[in-house]
Amino acid sequence: MKILRFERKDEAVAWAKKVIGIEGMSGDVTAISLLDDEGDFLAVTVFSAYTGTNIDMHIAARSGSNWVSRRFFHASFELPFKVLEVPRVTGLIRAENLKAQQFVARLGFQYEGRMRKAFPDGGDLVLYGLLREEYLKHPWSEHETTRGTTRSQGYIPSDRVPT
Protein backbone atom coordinates (compact mmCIF):
# COMPACT_ATOMS: atom_id res chain seq x y z
CA MET A 1 0.00 0.00 0.00
CA LYS A 2 1.12 3.53 -0.72
CA ILE A 3 0.01 6.87 0.72
CA LEU A 4 -0.25 9.83 -1.63
CA ARG A 5 -0.30 13.19 0.05
CA PHE A 6 -1.75 15.38 -2.70
CA GLU A 7 -0.90 13.67 -6.01
CA ARG A 8 -3.87 12.66 -8.19
CA LYS A 9 -6.00 15.06 -6.15
CA ASP A 10 -8.76 15.62 -8.71
CA GLU A 11 -9.11 11.89 -9.37
CA ALA A 12 -9.13 11.13 -5.62
CA VAL A 13 -11.79 13.76 -4.87
CA ALA A 14 -14.02 12.50 -7.70
CA TRP A 15 -13.63 8.91 -6.45
CA ALA A 16 -14.46 9.92 -2.85
CA LYS A 17 -17.52 11.91 -3.90
CA LYS A 18 -18.85 8.88 -5.76
CA VAL A 19 -18.17 6.51 -2.83
CA ILE A 20 -19.76 8.68 -0.13
CA GLY A 21 -22.50 10.12 -2.31
CA ILE A 22 -21.77 13.81 -1.87
CA GLU A 23 -22.10 15.98 -4.96
CA GLY A 24 -20.44 19.19 -3.84
CA MET A 25 -17.82 20.24 -1.33
CA SER A 26 -17.17 23.90 -0.65
CA GLY A 27 -14.01 25.96 -0.88
CA ASP A 28 -10.62 24.70 -1.93
CA VAL A 29 -10.52 20.92 -1.88
CA THR A 30 -7.52 18.63 -1.44
CA ALA A 31 -7.06 14.93 -0.69
CA ILE A 32 -4.79 12.34 0.87
CA SER A 33 -5.10 8.86 -0.63
CA LEU A 34 -4.24 5.29 0.19
CA LEU A 35 -3.58 3.09 -2.85
CA ASP A 36 -3.38 -0.67 -3.24
CA ASP A 37 -0.44 -2.34 -5.00
CA GLU A 38 -2.10 -1.82 -8.41
CA GLY A 39 -2.49 1.94 -7.82
CA ASP A 40 -6.26 1.84 -7.21
CA PHE A 41 -7.83 3.81 -4.37
CA LEU A 42 -8.43 1.98 -1.08
CA ALA A 43 -9.30 5.08 0.93
CA VAL A 44 -9.32 8.83 0.45
CA THR A 45 -9.54 11.63 2.98
CA VAL A 46 -10.90 14.81 1.39
CA PHE A 47 -10.49 18.20 3.04
CA SER A 48 -12.75 21.14 2.18
CA ALA A 49 -14.16 24.43 3.51
CA TYR A 50 -10.95 25.57 5.24
CA THR A 51 -11.60 28.71 7.32
CA GLY A 52 -8.46 29.08 9.40
CA THR A 53 -10.22 27.72 12.49
CA ASN A 54 -11.88 24.66 10.94
CA ILE A 55 -11.64 22.30 8.01
CA ASP A 56 -14.21 19.74 6.88
CA MET A 57 -12.95 16.16 6.57
CA HIS A 58 -14.58 13.41 4.51
CA ILE A 59 -13.28 9.82 4.56
CA ALA A 60 -14.22 7.40 1.78
CA ALA A 61 -13.11 3.78 1.56
CA ARG A 62 -13.46 0.92 -0.90
CA SER A 63 -16.12 -1.45 0.35
CA GLY A 64 -14.77 -4.74 1.63
CA SER A 65 -11.15 -3.59 1.67
CA ASN A 66 -8.78 -3.87 4.61
CA TRP A 67 -7.46 -0.32 4.59
CA VAL A 68 -7.49 0.96 8.19
CA SER A 69 -3.99 1.78 9.42
CA ARG A 70 -2.35 4.18 11.86
CA ARG A 71 -0.08 5.37 9.05
CA PHE A 72 -3.00 6.52 6.92
CA PHE A 73 -4.67 8.27 9.86
CA HIS A 74 -1.44 9.99 10.85
CA ALA A 75 -1.16 11.29 7.29
CA SER A 76 -4.82 12.35 7.28
CA PHE A 77 -4.69 14.24 10.59
CA GLU A 78 -1.26 15.76 9.97
CA LEU A 79 -2.66 18.30 7.49
CA PRO A 80 -5.32 19.88 9.71
CA PHE A 81 -3.60 19.65 13.08
CA LYS A 82 0.13 20.00 12.30
CA VAL A 83 0.37 21.84 8.99
CA LEU A 84 -2.70 24.11 9.07
CA GLU A 85 -2.85 24.07 12.90
CA VAL A 86 -6.64 24.40 12.95
CA PRO A 87 -8.24 23.96 16.37
CA ARG A 88 -10.95 21.66 14.96
CA VAL A 89 -12.01 19.32 12.18
CA THR A 90 -15.66 18.81 11.21
CA GLY A 91 -17.15 15.59 9.86
CA LEU A 92 -20.40 15.90 7.89
CA ILE A 93 -22.33 12.63 7.50
CA ARG A 94 -25.71 11.64 6.08
CA ALA A 95 -27.90 10.82 9.10
CA GLU A 96 -28.83 7.37 7.80
CA ASN A 97 -25.16 6.36 7.53
CA LEU A 98 -24.87 4.85 11.00
CA LYS A 99 -21.72 2.91 10.09
CA ALA A 100 -19.88 6.16 9.29
CA GLN A 101 -21.14 7.75 12.51
CA GLN A 102 -19.82 4.82 14.54
CA PHE A 103 -16.51 4.98 12.67
CA VAL A 104 -15.89 8.68 13.36
CA ALA A 105 -16.96 8.25 16.99
CA ARG A 106 -14.24 5.58 17.34
CA LEU A 107 -11.77 8.09 15.91
CA GLY A 108 -12.69 10.46 18.75
CA PHE A 109 -15.13 12.78 16.95
CA GLN A 110 -18.00 14.08 19.10
CA TYR A 111 -21.60 14.46 17.92
CA GLU A 112 -22.44 18.17 17.61
CA GLY A 113 -25.80 18.38 15.89
CA ARG A 114 -28.22 17.64 13.07
CA MET A 115 -29.19 19.70 10.04
CA ARG A 116 -32.66 18.65 8.96
CA LYS A 117 -33.34 18.38 5.21
CA ALA A 118 -29.80 19.46 4.36
CA PHE A 119 -29.55 17.34 1.21
CA PRO A 120 -31.43 17.92 -2.07
CA ASP A 121 -33.33 14.65 -1.52
CA GLY A 122 -34.56 15.86 1.89
CA GLY A 123 -32.07 13.79 3.87
CA ASP A 124 -30.62 15.00 7.15
CA LEU A 125 -26.96 15.74 7.86
CA VAL A 126 -25.26 15.10 11.20
CA LEU A 127 -22.22 17.03 12.35
CA TYR A 128 -19.27 15.63 14.27
CA GLY A 129 -16.28 17.57 15.54
CA LEU A 130 -12.79 16.68 16.68
CA LEU A 131 -10.71 19.25 18.53
CA ARG A 132 -6.95 19.31 18.18
CA GLU A 133 -6.43 18.59 21.89
CA GLU A 134 -8.83 15.61 21.69
CA TYR A 135 -6.88 14.19 18.77
CA LEU A 136 -3.57 14.61 20.59
CA LYS A 137 -4.93 12.50 23.48
CA HIS A 138 -6.45 9.81 21.25
CA PRO A 139 -4.78 6.39 20.86
CA TRP A 140 -4.59 6.95 17.07
CA SER A 141 -2.47 10.06 17.60
CA GLU A 142 1.25 9.67 17.07
CA HIS A 143 2.02 11.73 20.18
CA GLU A 144 3.59 9.09 22.44
CA THR A 145 3.35 11.23 25.58
CA THR A 146 -0.45 11.34 25.44
CA ARG A 147 -1.28 8.05 23.69
CA GLY A 148 -3.85 5.96 25.53
CA THR A 149 -5.17 8.75 27.77
CA THR A 150 -8.45 9.21 25.91
CA ARG A 151 -11.74 8.80 27.72
CA SER A 152 -14.26 6.18 26.58
CA GLN A 153 -15.13 6.54 22.92
CA GLY A 154 -18.34 7.95 21.48
CA TYR A 155 -21.61 6.35 20.62
CA ILE A 156 -24.68 7.24 18.56
CA PRO A 157 -27.52 8.56 20.78
CA SER A 158 -31.03 7.50 19.84
CA ASP A 159 -31.88 11.01 18.58
CA ARG A 160 -29.46 10.44 15.69
CA VAL A 161 -31.01 7.25 14.40
CA PRO A 162 -32.98 8.09 11.25
CA THR A 163 -36.72 7.55 11.37
What rounded mean pLDDT belongs to the chain?
81
- Measured in residues, the chain has a length of 163
Q: Check if the beta carbon of residue 92 is closer than 8 Å to that of residue 48.
A: no
**Is the model more confident about 158 or about 101?**
101
Say yes or no to pLDDT of 159 above 50.
Answer: no
Question: 1-20 pLDDT, tens per residue?
Answer: 677 667 888 899 999 988 88
CA 40, chain centre distance (Å) = 20
Q: What's 158's DSSP letter?
A: G
Q: Tell me which residue of 75, 88, 73 sits closest to 133, measured CA to CA.
A: 88
Say yes or no to pLDDT of 72 above 80.
Answer: yes
What structural domains does the chain harbor?
2-158 (3.40.630.30)
94: left (phi over 0), alpha (psi -120 to 50) or beta: beta
Question: 95-131 pLDDT, tens per residue?
Answer: 999 999 998 998 899 999 999 999 889 999 999 999 9
Say yes or no to pLDDT of 154 above 60.
Answer: no
pTM of the model: 0.79
Buried b (16+ CB within 10 A) or exposed e, 20-36: bebeebeeebbbbbbbe
In the prediction, which pLDDT does 93 show?
Answer: 92
In the prediction, which pLDDT does 43 show?
Answer: 92
Say yes or no to pLDDT of 153 above 60.
Answer: no
In the prediction, which pLDDT does 142 show?
Answer: 64
